[in-house]
Amino acid sequence: MTKKRVLITGAAGFLGSHLCDRFIKEGYFVMGMDNLITGDLRNIEHLFGNPDFVFYNHDVSKFVHVPGELDYILHFASPASPIDYLRIPIQTLKVGSLGIHHLLGLAKAKNARLLIASTSEVYGDPLVHPQNEDYWGNVNPVGPRGVYDEAKRFQEAMTMAYHTYHGLETRIVRIFNTYGPRMRLNDGRVLPAFIGQALRGEDLTAFGDGTQTRSFCYVDDLVEGIYRLLLSDYAQPVNIGNPNEITINQFAEEIIKLTGTNQKVIYKPLPTDDPKQRKPDVTRAKTLLNWEPKVSREEGLKLTYDYFKSLPPERWNEEPYGRDFKK
């Protein structure tokens, strides 16, 4: 029987690389695509030489073509952390607009089902807590985070337009804070930042007074939810995340305990438009997909810390980019 074929954009990134692994495990032929602006080939080098995997170094903001039949597309190409999209704001907007347009056109031409990676950031700094899929959000379109928030909101609108106008099979996952092996320690998000600081013996840096909340989902749980959503028949957005909410101060205490360090927490001003609360309502995922997170934060953090600790110490201090992008 011919293997089903899936294109995964952002394949060399944190989430994209885990998705490549999952689809190969499920018996698919996987085409990975990434321009490596924030991705890292080390995340997928174990797949090179696998007959069920091929990699294209390509920017989806430019015209996208892949040979042969295509069953599924997962669009995970995008800068995903503030340090990324504040440094490369235009690329962030382009991958969420031009990129999704190209991939929707490819999906239409190939008669493929397309799943897009949206984000909890479409809710902005929410006035509703927890956030469910019917909440329209509280987003500042011209603030520093607007380049990411609005790129993802446009991406959702464009995807839904192709679904309703062309009858294209589409799926939308709204991803909440996710963590696990292959994150970049320097990507600016609190979990890898705290672990990187602990490894380097630095004090942990919290922003604001540390009372803002986050909800952390282990990557394996997220990938399971995405896989189930892709194969479902539901086209409206679905939250995937872990509703176990924690303050940044509590989280810092957990990291200090986990790493056995005696660092203190230092505080810096809260960045503009940084959300004060973040907690998914995952009722829709539970009801439609029979999905809920399984990995406890204690277990997931240990797996993640052990991964980072196993890396060569020079990786703990890597700069975010090997190249500078100005286009």
Strands 245-247 and 213-215: antiparallel
Tokens standing for 324?
């500078």
8 A C-beta contact, residue 108 and residue 41 = no
Q: CB neighbours (10 Å) of residue 40?
A: 17
User: What CA–CA distance (Å, rounded) separates 322 from 37?
Assistant: 9
8 A C-beta contact, residue 218 and residue 300 = yes
Exposure on the CB side of residue 214, measured as CA atoms within 13 A: 21
Does 321 participate in catalysis according to the annotation?
A: no
User: What CA–CA distance (Å, rounded) separates 8 from 299?
Assistant: 28
Q: CB neighbours (10 Å) of residue 1?
A: 4
User: What CA–CA distance (Å, rounded) separates 248 from 97?
Assistant: 33
Q: CB neighbours (10 Å) of residue 263?
A: 17
User: What is the dihedral sign for C-alpha 61, 174, 210, 194?
Assistant: negative
Catalytic residue among 123, 148, 179, 218: 148
User: What CA–CA distance (Å, rounded) separates 173 from 279?
Assistant: 15
8 A C-beta contact, residue 53 and residue 47 = yes
8 A C-beta contact, residue 120 and residue 222 = no
Say how many Å lie between the first and final Cα of the chain, rounded: 44
Report the Cα 295 to chain-centroid distance in Å.
18
Q: What is the DSSP letter of 54?
A: E
Residues catalogued as catalytic: 148
